[in-house]
């Protein structure tokens, strides 16, 4: 399953660069699921790019930064066997994209990018059913950023106690 996830992400990356070079037969249902979403993404600025928050000391890999239906967003692509039609069914994915947004907006490597305040979580399905697209506007991103900061503080406090 992990290999399928990596292969799917590779397809998304190659598709958004308009250069499909590999054989993606094994993930064709995920591709079918997400195809119409990819058509709405343009002006891609980043793909599979490492972000580091210089003050909060965490890092991650952003799947994509681009325009979705004309709006600048951080995009996180997920695969799933089960439907995830609500944002809450994506578990910690909103925290993850909020953390990426926070890191990207503070990471000096990305200072040439405009400040991005919205995110997208795209769930592709192994059955080929149409992907669910969860849009997080600035208000939602700030809400999940707050949750993320609390969780990060909790983690740091757990790991700072003497043994």
Active site residues: 63, 76, 78
Interatomic CA distance for residues 163 and 160, integer angstroms: 9
Which letter does DSSP use for residue 24 in this model? -
The residues, any chain, with a CB within 8 Å of residue 160's CB and separated by 6 or more, are none
Name the strands in the sheet holding 132-136, side by side, starting at the edge strand that comes first in the sequence: 41-53, 58-68, 71-80, 119-125, 132-136
């Amino acid at each position: 399953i992990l290999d399928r996830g990596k292969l799917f992400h590779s397809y998304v990356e190659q598709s958004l660069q308009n250069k499909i070079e590999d054989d993606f037969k094994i993930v064709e249902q995920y591709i079918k699921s997400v195809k119409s979403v990819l058509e709405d993404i343009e002006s891609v600025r980043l793909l599979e790019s490492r972000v580091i928050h210089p003050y909060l000391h965490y890092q991650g890999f952003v799947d994509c930064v681009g325009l979705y239906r004309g709006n600048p967003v951080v995009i996180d692509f997920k695969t799933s066997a089960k439907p995830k039609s609500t944002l809450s069914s994506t578990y910690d994915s909103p925290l993850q994209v909020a953390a990426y947004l926070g890191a990207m907006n503070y990471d000096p490597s990305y200072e040439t990018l405009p400040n991005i305040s919205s995110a997208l979580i795209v769930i592709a399905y192994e059955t080929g059913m149409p992907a669910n697209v969860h849009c997080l506007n600035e208000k939602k991103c700030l809400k999940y950023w707050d949750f993320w900061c609390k969780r990060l503080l909790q983690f740091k406090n757990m790991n700072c106690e003497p043994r």
